[in-house]
Homo-oligomer: A and B are copies of this chain.
Amino acid sequence: MPVNLPVIDPKALFPVTGVRLGWTQAQIKQPNRKDLLLVEIAEGSSVSGVFTQNRFCAAPVTVCQSHLASHTSIRALVVNTGCANAGTGEQGMQDTLTTCQHVAEIMSISPQAVLPFSTGVILEHLPMAKLLAGLAGAYQNLADDHWADAAESIMTTDVAPKAFSRQLKVDGKSVHVTGISKGAGMIHPNMATMLGYVATDAAIAQPLLDELTKEIADLSFNCISVDGDTSTNDSFIVIATGQSGTDLITDRNDPKLVSIYQTLLEAAQVLAQAIVRDGEGATKFMTVTIKGAKTVEEAKTIGFSIGKSPLVKTAFFASDPNLGRILAAIGYASRECESLNDLDTNKIDLYLGDVLVAEQGGRAKSYQESMGQAVMDQAEIEVSVDLYRGDAQATIWTCDFSYEYVRINADYRT
């Protein structure tokens, strides 16, 4: 079961003026399951996205990037689960373009105004007849209060839907930020992770939204790992419809942006953490903070070295304070970050929660196993490391590694 992931209350998810969502059961992989989502976006909205850096990126990712680069005003998103449409060559590309074409016809918009997304099994072709047949039903289902259903319709191995919503006041007007995400496995983002959508009815100019989207992805979806595998289909999309009636924000330093930016960032972090809380087989949620690094890259590399280590993750699953494994993972992080080759391990302090476990690279004199055990027994655990070599820091979020992870991934296609 997910670790402290709140159950969604559909009534607590604010509509975002200018965004309507429609879902259907297209039977793409399994019957009786919401598996196709259409999102309609009002004319004049700004839409930005960041995508997986996986070289085997899926056809829909390539098409999204091309449609965004064309500067066509984006008017629709279409998302299917059950098939990733990755590793599908020319036919996969054709299937994605055909999907966009059909959405465009139904909605009377340009095919380039459609962003397509797929998630599911790689190396299999989309069942196009089912998918196309489903689009009309999804279109008829469009409504502005379907965020909870939308969150459900994009799930794969997720146990629970993931959503975030806030209402804030900007210049006396109500602005809304609502978002959804999915993902539980193949989670180790490299620019963004599959799939996150955040919408606001604030008005943010396209170039500024592009800049903010990258920045927010780096502080949220790019700080999580479930299994170290980067998906072929990762996508994170931010929509600003401008329908709240607030003034258009074009400047990074506009004071009106402060609360909106904070809320967009909070949305992305909560949704990213929700993916970890619902990580495949997860029983623990770990926050790993690395301080005193020379660069953020150093801090993030060490954080992920700890957060990806199967030995660390199985020890957390067992609530076993076998914390030498964390030191080992710090020590081999230089494999992935050259500047760590001169890391002086004799300076490093390691904390588990508030407990000092290692000081100056060795077992802390004050440390007793029972102190580590008390922290390990909790479901939410903080690991912090001080390298004492600079001022940069980073925090990443990860989960443990359980029998259930193996079962889920040994059974996934069956």
Which chain A residues have a beta carbon within 8 Å of chain B's beta carbons? Answer: 53-57, 84, 86-92, 121-125, 185-186, 188, 190, 227-232, 308-311, 314-315, 317-318, 320, 322-325, 327-336, 340-341, 343, 345-346, 357-358, 360-363, 401-403, 405-407, 409-414
Contact = CB atoms under 8 A, between A and B. Distances in A.
9 contacts: A55-B341, A56-B345, A56-B361, A89-B346, A122-B324, A123-B324, A227-B310, A310-B310, A402-B406
A179 B91 CA distance: 53
Nearest to A330: B56
A227 B311 contact: yes
Contacts of A343: 55
B89 A361 contact: yes
A86 B54 contact: no
Interface hub of A86, A121, A325, A411 (most chain B Cβ within 10 A): A325
Contact of A229 (B84, B311, B357): B311
Contacts of A310: 227-229, 310, 401, 405, 409
A320 B414 contact: yes
A135 B405 CA distance: 44
Contacts of A230: 328, 331-332, 335
A322 B120 CA distance: 11
A324 B409 CA distance: 13
B87 A318 contact: no
A388 B180 CA distance: 40
Given A310-B310, A332-B53, A327 B413 contact: no
Contacts of A409: 310-311, 314-315, 318
Nearest to A59: B362
Contacts of A89: 346, 360-363
Contact of A331 (B123, B232, B403, B411): B232
A290 B91 CA distance: 26
A76 B276 CA distance: 49
B363 A55 contact: no
B320 A84 contact: no
Contacts of A405: 310, 314, 406
A402 B229 CA distance: 17
Contacts of A330: 55-56
Given A55-B334, A56-B361, A185-B311, A406 B328 contact: no
B332 A55 contact: yes
Nearest to A281: B406
A90 to B, nearest CB: 7
A57 B327 CA distance: 10
Given A53-B335, A55-B340, A228-B310, 10 more contacts: A86-B324, A86-B328, A88-B363, A229-B329, A230-B332, A230-B335, A232-B328, A232-B331, A311-B409, A314-B405
A228 B308 contact: yes
Contacts of A325: 122, 186, 229
A361 B388 CA distance: 45
Contact of A121 (B308, B322, B335, B358): B322
Contact of A122 (B53, B320, B327, B340): B327
A52 to B, nearest CB: 8
A123 B358 contact: yes
A159 to B, nearest CB: 18
Contact of A336 (B322, B336, B411): B336
Contact of A328 (B88, B231, B323): B231
Contacts of A231: 328
Contact of A410 (B56, B90, B317, B345): B317
A333 to B, nearest CB: 8
